[in-house]
């Protein structure tokens, strides 16, 4: 048994004595047709296929009606699910054809490549790898298109070394044949070759001879790991020969065929395998996509045009005519004007181009050129659609429910079926209305999966609605997500349990306060009430230890934002209100000292924190006032230990209850405290101008400062004694940052006059310094606002004053006063929008009028 096989010179049809070695190009429709023809002619008693032996038990599932390629064999380490590998198979893959042939003819089929238990461990322990066999960890770095069916890595980051560089056999053979494009050479030699005429074994004998010459020149081609794999395959072929004789067919990468005929001993092959590292591995079938088969996706054995190859395999007769018909149908669906005449002309042009280029049949390049010229009017824009939808395609395979899977995957499949949320390879948008139970459950599922690291959906901004009851998701299922699901299985057997455990673990491991608040928000979005107490405890601990006001201010908005979900999603957020109020109090105390002596960049960052805290205080006050948070009695939440109604002896009321406590003051107290902080920021000289200006603007917007006081503060900030740079920063804080400051200047002539007078009084040298800052401030205004400001400045203060004295407002498009009649005309519409008609009808019948129900005040 030293020889695997020898050559029978006198054999019929040039057959090789011993096992039938069918060297193929993985994912090649021509190779797939040739394999089927060779198997029909040889009728072997067993079929050996390049692939992990652990998958032998999964071969029978290929006959299931629910199994639809493209699919892939997934192997992952049991103790480390992130360490994984794929073996993809398409309908036109020779290995898939061999599996289906064996099942149809009831012939045993086996995988003979290096076991996945070694493949996943490769490189994990360098000391255990035999000398001279330094390989890669779970990544078959085979770049050659002829032999590249090794696993596509889904391993954990940083788990191994880079793949070795190897020779591309196709490129070498194409260059020898005078081709500059290996794909074109392969199409001419193999894909366009018919199998109905001539010897069924001739293509494999010719390819074996070519690969033998290349192996003599290049050895293993740069991959020492190939020698180990080939040694294992020789041992498996010998074992099959002992059981079935020479009636054995082997389907493997053409690069390996010469090595399988080498005259080696069993002892030598076993020596190569001695000492290989091992891990415990599980295997299953998972869906695959055409996009992942594409070489651009990074898969080593990928092909550039899986959709085109699938068409060639499925339509061996008149492939060009059928392809052009597909293209025409796609373009028509996209409202392109394409007639049957276009199809006829495109076919003729493709055939003419093939003849001019000396090709036996039109290939992808000829059909693409013909489509561009005839159907796309020379434009690459519609052609890009053809490449994306047809040349590559959005096909997503399916696997039967009986395929092995981790419990978490089973639970996910069950939820997807119940919610009618089918995984799809084509990216699509999903609009959810959280007021509907089914949509709310979909949202919870997607948020839980994102928390587990399974990025099936990405949340995007909703179009046409800003309500918190609406979410928009962009969904796209990638094969790698199956690995993420297996990896997340260590957290639990159901999606809910796994997401809960993962959230608790992330909370304990988080270092930054903002990370914990963001996690709390995600727990509410995913509705994980069991995880929220742990997250809130960690949040309270982190907040107590963090003295950086910037961190506190960055964490507060996300925490307060989460309180809103108590209304939209029906989630109990009582535990978060007290923590948020305490966090706000710490921000109030620490913000004024933190704003002193800042440079320009730090001041701008702190200004953004001030804006965020201002919005958060408004939301927090609304949440407390609306009852989203706990009821407060004597400074202690009613749900807290020691509060009224709680179990005696379980807690003690807070000893330091003062009127300034935000929890005690509730809705009004928080805003009063915040307004006091803003007043301090707006008048303190050590605070940068951009923050002082923003403090004045926020107080003005909340009605805490009158127009006269604002004009006085602006006059002080823009006085001649103030450095021009500081004054320009004050203006940016007051009217910049997307705060609607342009309209404020349009409506308030005094403020505009102060800015105009200050700017005209700045010296030439200082003007050059402040110009970039002013341009950044005013360039953010709407074009109409800038045009109106320019008109007002051009007219000057005297003209504006005379217009006002003459009965006008001095502002183009505005009257001198309020037109009550026109304002009353909108009242019915406002009533309809606010839904007050039915409510107020009863009140009006009881003597209540328009003024009684407060609608005039609402309408303003």
> Per-residue pLDDT tens for 406-443?
788 889 989 999 999 988 878 888 989 888 889 989 99
Q: How far is CA 318 from the centre of its chain?
A: 40
**Cβ contacts of residue 125 below 8 Å, gap of 6+?**
277
| Burial group, residue 398, by CB count within 10 angstroms (0-12, 13-18, 19+) | middle
Say yes or no to pLDDT of 620 above 80: no
User: What pLDDT band is residue 107 in, cutting at 50, 70 and 90?
Assistant: very high
8 Å CB contact between 320 and 89: no
Cα–Cα dist 560/578, whole Å:
11
Task: Scan for tokens 């505005």, then name that residue.
Answer: 814
Listing from the earlier edge strand, what are the strands of the sheet with 109-111?
Answer: 20-24, 248-253, 46-49, 109-111
**pLDDT value of residue 582:** 75
Helix, strand and coil in the chain, % to nearest 5: 55, 10, 35
Question: Given this model, what pLDDT does residue 10 score?
Answer: 37
Count Cα neighbours of 124 within 13 Å in the Cβ-side half-sphere. 17
Strand bridging mode 248-253 / 46-49 = parallel
Is the distance from CB of 718 to CB of 680 less than 8 angstroms?
Answer: no
What span, in angstroms and rounded, lies between the C-alpha atoms of 124 and 763?
Answer: 69
* More confident site: 543 or 710: 710
**Phi, psi for 395 (deg, rounded to 5):** -70, 130
pLDDT at 657: 30
Q: What is the distance between the alpha carbons of residues 319 and 632, in angstroms, rounded to a whole number? A: 76
**Distance between CA 405 and CA 135 in Å, rounded?**
29
Question: Cis before residue 855, ω within 30 degrees of 0?
Answer: no
| Token representation of residue 25 | 């190009």
Q: Which residue has the tokens 């179009």?
A: 463
Contact partners, residue 65, CB within 8 Å, separation at least 6 = 400
- In this predicted model, which residue has the larger pLDDT, 843 or 590? 590
pLDDT range class, residue 150, cuts 50, 70, 90: very low
Kind of pairing, strands 248-253 and 20-24?
Answer: parallel
Question: Measuring CA to CA, which residue among 567, 617, 319, 616 is closest to residue 434?
Answer: 567
Taking all residues of the chain, what is their mean pLDDT, rounded to a whole number? 75
Q: Please report the pLDDT score of residue 172 as a whole number.
A: 80
Q: Give the pLDDT confidence score for residue 767 in this predicted structure.
A: 75
List the domain boundaries for the chain: 12-296, 317-392, 407-491, 510-642+658-699, 706-805, 823-859
Q: Is the pLDDT of residue 838 over 60?
A: no
Contacts of 588 (CB under 8 A, 6+ apart): 662, 673, 674, 676, 677
pLDDT per residue as tens digits for the range 750-777:
777 777 777 777 777 777 777 777 777 7
Neighbours of 808 (CB within 10 A): 14
CB 117 within 8 A of CB 55: no
Contact 25, 281 (CB under 8 A): no
Q: Are strands 84-89 and 152-153 parallel, antiparallel or unpaired?
A: antiparallel
Least trusted range by pLDDT, from 96-100, 297-301, 604-608, 723-727: 297-301
Distance, first Cα to last Cα, the chain: 98
pLDDT above 50 for 161: no
User: From CA 355, how far away is CA 363, in angstroms rounded?
Assistant: 11
Question: For the whole model, what pTM was predicted?
Answer: 0.63
Neighbour-count burial for 215-226, b at 16+ CB within 10 Å, e otherwise: beeeebbbbbbb
* All residues at 6 or more sequence positions from 511 whose CB lies less than 8 Å from its CB, including other chains: none
Q: Output the pLDDT for position 55.
A: 93
């Amino acid at each position: 048994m030293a020889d695997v096989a020898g050559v029978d010179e006198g054999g019929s049809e040039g057959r090789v004595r011993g096992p039938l070695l069918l060297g193929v190009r993985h994912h090649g429709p021509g190779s797939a047709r040739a394999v089927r023809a060779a198997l029909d002619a040889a009728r072997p008693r067993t079929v050996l296929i390049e692939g992990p032996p652990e998958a032998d038990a999964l071969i029978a599932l290929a006959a299931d009606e629910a199994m639809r390629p493209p699919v892939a064999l997934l192997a992952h380490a049991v103790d480390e699910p992130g360490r994984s590998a794929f073996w993809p198979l398409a309908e036109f893959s020779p290995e898939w054809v061999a599996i289906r042939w064996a099942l149809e003819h009831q012939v045993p089929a086996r995988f003979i490549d290096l076991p996945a238990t070694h493949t996943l461990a490769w490189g994990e322990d360098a000391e255990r790898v035999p000398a001279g066999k330094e390989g890669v960890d779970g990544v078959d770095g085979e770049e050659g298109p002829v032999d590249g069916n090794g696993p596509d890595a889904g391993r954990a980051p940083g788990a191994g070394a880079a793949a070795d560089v190897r020779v591309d056999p196709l490129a070498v053979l194409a260059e020898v044949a005078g081709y500059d494009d290996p794909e074109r050479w392969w199409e001419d030699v193999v894909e366009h070759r018919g199998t109905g005429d001539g010897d069924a074994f001739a293509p494999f004998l010719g390819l074996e001879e070519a690969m033998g010459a290349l192996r003599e020149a290049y050895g293993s081609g740069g991959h020492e790991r190939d020698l180990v794999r080939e040694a294992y395959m020789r041992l498996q072929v010998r074992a099959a020969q002992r059981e079935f004789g020479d009636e054995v067919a082997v389907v493997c990468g053409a690069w390996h065929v010469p090595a399988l005929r080498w005259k080696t001993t069993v002892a030598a092959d076993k020596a190569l395998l001695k000492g290989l590292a091992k891990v415990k591995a599980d295997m299953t079938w998972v869906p695959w996509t055409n996009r992942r088969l594409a070489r651009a996706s990074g898969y080593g054995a990928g092909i550039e045009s899986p959709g085109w190859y699938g068409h060639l395999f499925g339509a061996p007769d008149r492939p060009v005519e059928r392809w052009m018909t597909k293209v025409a149908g796609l373009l028509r669906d996209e409202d392109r004007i394409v007639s049957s005449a276009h199809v006829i002309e495109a076919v003729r042009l493709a055939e003419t181009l093939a003849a001019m280029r000396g090709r036996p049949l039109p290939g992808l390049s000829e059909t693409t050129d013909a489509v561009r010229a005839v159907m796309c009017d020379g434009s690459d824009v519609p052609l890009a659609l053809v490449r994306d939808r047809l040349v590559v395609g959005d096909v997503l395979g399916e696997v039967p429910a009986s395929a092995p899977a981790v419990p978490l995957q089973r639970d996910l499949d069950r939820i997807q079926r119940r919610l009618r949320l089918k995984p799809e390879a084509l990216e699509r948008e999903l609009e959810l209305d959280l007021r509907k139970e089914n949509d709310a459950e979909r949202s919870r599922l997607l948020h839980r999966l994102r928390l587990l690291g399974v990025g099936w959906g990405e949340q995007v901004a909703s179009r046409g609605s800003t309500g918190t009851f609406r979410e928009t998701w962009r969904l796209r299922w990638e094969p790698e997500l199956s690995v993420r699901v297996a990896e997340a299985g260590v957290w639990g057997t159901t999606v809910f349990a796994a997401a809960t455990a993962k959230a608790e673990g992330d909370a304990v491991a988080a270092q930054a306060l903002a990370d914990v608040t963001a996690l709390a928000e995600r727990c509410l979005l995913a509705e994980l009430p069991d995880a929220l107490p742990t997250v809130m405890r960690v949040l309270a601990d982190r907040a107590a230890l963090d003295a950086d006001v910037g961190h506190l201010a960055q964490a507060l908005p996300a925490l307060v934002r989460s309180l809103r979900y108590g209304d939209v999603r029906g989630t109990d957020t009582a535990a978060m209100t007290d923590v948020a109020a305490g966090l706000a109090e710490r921000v109030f105390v620490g913000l004024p000292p933190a704003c002193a002596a800042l440079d320009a960049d730090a001041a701008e960052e702190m200004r953004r924190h001030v804006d965020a805290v201002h919005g958060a205080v408004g939301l927090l006050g609304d949440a407390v006032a609306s009852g989203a948070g706990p009821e407060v009695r004597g400074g202690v939440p009613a749900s807290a230990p020691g509060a009224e109604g709680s179990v005696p002896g379980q807690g003690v009321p807070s000893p330091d209850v003062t009127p300034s406590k935000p929890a005690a003051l509730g809705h009004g107290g928080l805003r009063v405290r915040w307004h006091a902080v803003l007043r301090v920021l707006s008048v303190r000289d050590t605070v940068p101008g951009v923050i002082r200006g923003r403090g004045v603007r926020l107080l003005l917007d909340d009605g805490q400062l009158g127009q006269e006081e604002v004009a006085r503060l602006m006059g002080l900030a823009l006085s001649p004694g103030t450095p021009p740079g500081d004054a320009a920063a004050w203006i940016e804080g007051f009217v910049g940052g997307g705060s609607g400051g342009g309209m404020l200047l349009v409506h308030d002539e005094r403020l505009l006059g102060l800015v105009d007078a200050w700017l005209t009084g700045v010296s030439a040298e200082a003007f050059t310094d402040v110009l970039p800052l002013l341009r950044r401030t005013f360039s953010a205004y709407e074009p109409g606002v800038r045009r109106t400001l320019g008109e007002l400045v051009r007219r000057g203060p005297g003209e504006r004053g005379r217009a006002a004295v003459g009965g006008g407002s001095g502002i183009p498009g505005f009257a001198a006063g309020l037109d009550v009649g026109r304002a009353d005309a909108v009242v019915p519409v406002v009533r309809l929008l606010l839904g007050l008609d039915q409510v107020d009808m009863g009140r009006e019948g009881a003597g209540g009028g328009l003024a009684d129900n407060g609608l005039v005040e609402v309408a303003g």
